[in-house]
């Protein structure tokens, strides 16, 4: 009987030890997860505080004009002239900088049609909200104005993600442009109209000989 109790004691002690080891392992994983979450929060906070220093003669990557000169007269490729309440220019970590108007025009001109329409729709909504806010407040901030800024901030964030999630000269957009043919399918018909076939060329040679 004593040998049976000794055997049970060893089994129980072994099980408890394994259980304690599992608990310690879970505690370590929870601590690692907590540290990871803290690091992510710190990175997000640092990202919000990040800034870039640009030279006063820095040029826009699209129009080649000075980046600190906001081109208010810039005409967008597909019909809108104002970008509403967004930053006047963008600077990417790679060093490329763009006027907001130039960046939107370049991205809408280079991306696929559905994405371009989405960007221009966001831009139009921002422009309309900006005009309504100016008309209603006459430059003064009220509680209603502050409340109405929430959808503006959301639209601005969506527009930023659409046009400035990556540098257009260093990201997927540039890779896509490299893969495009020099003559697009919609331009093929116009290109064919300039083609000189051999029969017409032969007639021209005969005409020159007769002369």
**Per-residue pLDDT tens digits for 82-114:** 444 556 889 998 889 999 889 999 999 888 889
Instruction: Report in angstroms the alpha-carbon separations of 169 from 26, 92, 174.
Output: 46, 10, 5
pLDDT digits over 64-80, tens only? 999 887 644 444 443 33
Exposed/middle/buried for 170, CB within 10 Å: 0-12, 13-18, 19+? middle
| pLDDT above 60 for 129 | yes
């Amino acid at each position: 009987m004593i040998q049976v109790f000794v055997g049970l004691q060893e089994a129980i002690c072994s099980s408890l030890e394994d259980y304690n080891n599992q608990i310690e392992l879970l505690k370590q994983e929870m601590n690692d997860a907590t540290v990871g979450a803290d690091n992510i929060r710190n990175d997000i906070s640092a990202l919000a505080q990040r800034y870039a220093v640009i030279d006063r003669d820095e040029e826009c990557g699209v129009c080649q004009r000075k980046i600190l000169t906001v081109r208010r007269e810039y005409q967008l490729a597909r019909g809108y002239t104002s970008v509403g309440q967004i930053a006047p220019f963008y600077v990417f970590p790679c060093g490329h900088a763009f006027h907001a108007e130039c960046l939107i025009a370049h991205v809408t001109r280079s991306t696929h049609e559905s994405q371009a329409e989405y960007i221009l729709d966001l831009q139009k909504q921002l422009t309309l909200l900006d005009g309504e806010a100016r008309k209603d407040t006459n430059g003064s901030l009220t509680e209603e104005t502050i409340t109405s800024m929430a959808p503006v901030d959301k639209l601005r964030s969506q527009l930023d993600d659409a046009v400035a999630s990556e540098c257009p000269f260093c990201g997927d957009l540039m890779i896509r442009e490299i893969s495009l043919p020099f003559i697009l399918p919609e331009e093929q018909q116009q290109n064919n109209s300039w083609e000189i076939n051999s029969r017409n060329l032969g007639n021209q040679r005969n005409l020159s000989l007769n002369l």
